[in-house]
Amino acid sequence: MEAKDIFEEASIMDSKLNILTQLYRNNKLSSLSYTWYSYSYIQTSQTPDKVLRLFLDNMWYEELNESDANIQESEYPEISDKILNSVGNENASKYQKLVDEKLHRLVEKNLDVDSFYSQLWQMIQSDADWDNEYQKALALFYCILSGFFPYFQISPPDKDSDEFLKQISKDMVDQIKYIRYLSSTPLLVQRTQTAKMVLDEILSIPDTLPDRKDRMAILLANSFSEIENKGVRNFLQTIGSDG
């Protein structure tokens, strides 16, 4: 296809996907049905890998999860059930793990963006582990949940030795403790408040230090770790309150 044709087709598909997105946001479609109809539109495209990219690159801000997978939308209540029944409700978690593993291996290749989406579409369409169209749509659904999108090709820096990181961390123990406190204190109710104070502490590292970037990275990594730990603690507290 010529570039003009690709653009025109993408514009049409974009409009269709936008309509589906509005139906989903208005609770007219469950998340699984939303994925199913989007998958069906992508499949009819002459450039499915490009439309797949358009779809996934715009999904990052949608709160799509399994919790509403069984919402019975008024017009097509059977779609969600058909998708889940295609693997069996009891096997859904195993199926998700399988999709995650395949997607993880694909991401590890660090392909250029066009090649990545081309191979991803091939995986969704042709992998031997999917037996029918419902399972392929479910594979797309679990891809959305993975957190890998929008996809980027990156150039990872060289890994530092554990001994090097331990030594710098030892020298910065007080700053690390402070960063962890900032990431967990209830005094900072907005994430931007936390981010500003963490950033101030990171930028306070003197420019004259030859390992300044490494020190900054260590503080930032500790901030990430504490935020993750806080999420786990909140989840466990929720479980405890439900018991």
Q: Which range, 12-26, 50-64, 106-120, 168-182, is most confident?
A: 106-120
Per-residue pLDDT tens for 121-178?
999 999 988 888 989 999 999 998 888 899 999 998 888 888 988 999 999 999 999 9
Give the number of domains in the chain: 2
Torsion of CA 96, 100, 106, 107, to 10 degrees: 140
Among 145, 177, 201, where does a domain finish? 145
Could you tell me if 198 and 132 lie in one domain? Answer: no
Could you tell me if 9 and 107 lie in one domain? Answer: yes
Q: Give CA–CA dist 136/134, Å, rounded.
A: 5
Q: Give CA–CA dist 43/38, Å, rounded.
A: 9
Could you tell me if 20 and 85 lie in one domain? Answer: yes
Contact criterion met (CB below 8 Å) for 136 and 130: yes
Is residue 155 a part of any domain in this protein?
Answer: no
Contact criterion met (CB below 8 Å) for 172 and 215: yes
Could you tell me if 83 and 23 lie in one domain? Answer: yes
* pLDDT: which is higher, 121 or 8: 121
217 band by pLDDT with thresholds 50, 70 and 90: very high
Could you tell me if 175 and 129 lie in one domain? Answer: no
Contact criterion met (CB below 8 Å) for 87 and 95: yes
Could you tell me if 11 and 79 lie in one domain? Answer: yes
Question: Containing domain of residue 209, as a range?
Answer: 162-242
For residue 49, the number of C-alpha atoms closer than 13 Å in the C-beta half-sphere is 11
